Amino acid sequence: MVKVDKFIPKAIEKISQQVEGKAIIALSGGVDSSVCAILAHRAIGDRLTPIYIDTGLMRKGETERIKEIFCDMNLQVIDAKDRFLGALAGIEDPEEKRKAVGETFIRVFEEEAKLLEADCLIQGTIYPDRIESEGGIKSHHNVGGLPSVIDFKAIVEPIEDLYKDEVREVARALDLPHEISERMPFPGPGLSVRIVGQVTEELVEIVREANAIVEEELVERFHPWQTFAAIVGKGTGVKGDVRVHGWIVAVRAVGSRDGMTAEAMELPWEVLSRIESRISAALPTVARVVYDLTPKPPATIEFE
């Protein structure tokens, strides 16, 4: 386990040495990038500009909350929804989706970096991201999905050797709000990997609403490592007297220590049943709601 008292000053010192000019950080609002933003801000002060890219693939209310929480920093919020949807259009393959999102991310950052004359990019990559990317299991957007031409002078990854629970400890020691330090992991490619197959604006809206319902029902009461909803395909349902071909929403709730392995949570029937009724009532194009029982392995946590 990391010794936070030693880790924090050492990380700050290392960032000051690595960053010569101005730096930007990809602030997503997750615990990883938030910890990096605070460390980097302490290391280089106003030479840091945290940038939040609104990809249009974030959870409900997330952008508004980030603006509130980081209002003390020189936060730049970039609306790039159309660019991300455009980059994803027509793509079905999960790894291609990750690459499309990753490349768009980096391009938007590069543009901002140039405007700000920043030559350093700070990233919240953690140890399991690195291991899984090196092992070819999945290209995480902040490691394997990078395009080959990057003109940043340096890429700094202050927490690349930490596991998630260690990052949370550092977050608590840095006095980040509970909402951030205990926040569930959320994939870099956002809701795009919670839609199996092609991503459209309509499906993003559906999955965003379903995710919000699942989080409301499960996070505070059961403290899962991760819980979410995904659209996994189409199936037949009945609306009134008519058979319809609607979306299948899968609910996932898992316990885990580090995301490398996970087990499905045993949830009370009344809770699962309420989730189903709320999703079916709120989203008329959903025909079916299912609960995923599969541990990791053999499944992964996300559906793609």
| Residue ranges in contact with ligand XMP by CB under 6 A | 98, 138, 140-142, 185, 187-189, 193, 226, 259, 296, 300-302
- The neighbour count for residue 79, using CB atoms within 10 Å, is 11
* Closer residue to ligand XMP, CB minimum distance, 70 or 225: 225
Closest approach of Cβ 280 to ligand XMP, in Å? 25
Preceding omega of 158 cis (within 30 degrees of 0): no
* Closer residue to ligand XMP, CB minimum distance, 50 or 188: 188
Q: Is 273 known to sit in a ligand binding site?
A: no
C-alpha distances out from residue 285 to 132, 200, 246, 261, Å: 35, 14, 5, 33
* Closer residue to ligand XMP, CB minimum distance, 50 or 246: 50
* Closer residue to ligand XMP, CB minimum distance, 43 or 195: 195
Tell me how far apart the alpha carbons of residues 47 and 202 are, in angstroms, rounded to a whole number: 39
Closest approach of Cβ 252 to ligand XMP, in Å? 10
| Helical spans, DSSP H, in 50-93 | 62-69, 81-88
Q: Is 192 known to sit in a ligand binding site?
A: no
* Closer residue to ligand XMP, CB minimum distance, 50 or 185: 185
Q: Is 29 known to sit in a ligand binding site?
A: yes
Check: CB of residue 24 under 8 Å from CB of residue 50. Answer: yes
CA dihedral for 27, 35, 172, 164, sign (positive or negative)? positive
* Closer residue to ligand XMP, CB minimum distance, 8 or 254: 254
Q: Is 32 known to sit in a ligand binding site?
A: yes
Tokens of 288: 């079916």
From 87, 186, 109, select the one nearest 155 (Cα to Cα).
Answer: 109
Tell me how far apart the alpha carbons of residues 109 and 155 are, in angstroms, rounded to a whole number: 12
Q: Is 33 known to sit in a ligand binding site?
A: yes
Residue 239, SS3? strand
Closest approach of Cβ 123 to ligand XMP, in Å? 10
Closest approach of Cβ 163 to ligand XMP, in Å? 12
Q: Is 258 known to sit in a ligand binding site?
A: no
Tell me how far apart the alpha carbons of residues 245 and 30 are, in angstroms, rounded to a whole number: 36
Closest approach of Cβ 9 to ligand XMP, in Å? 27
Closest approach of Cβ 240 to ligand XMP, in Å? 37
Phi, psi torsion values for 44, nearest 5 degrees: -125, 5
Q: Is 34 known to sit in a ligand binding site?
A: yes
Run of H or E residues at 165 = helix 164-173
Output the known binding site for ATP.
28-34
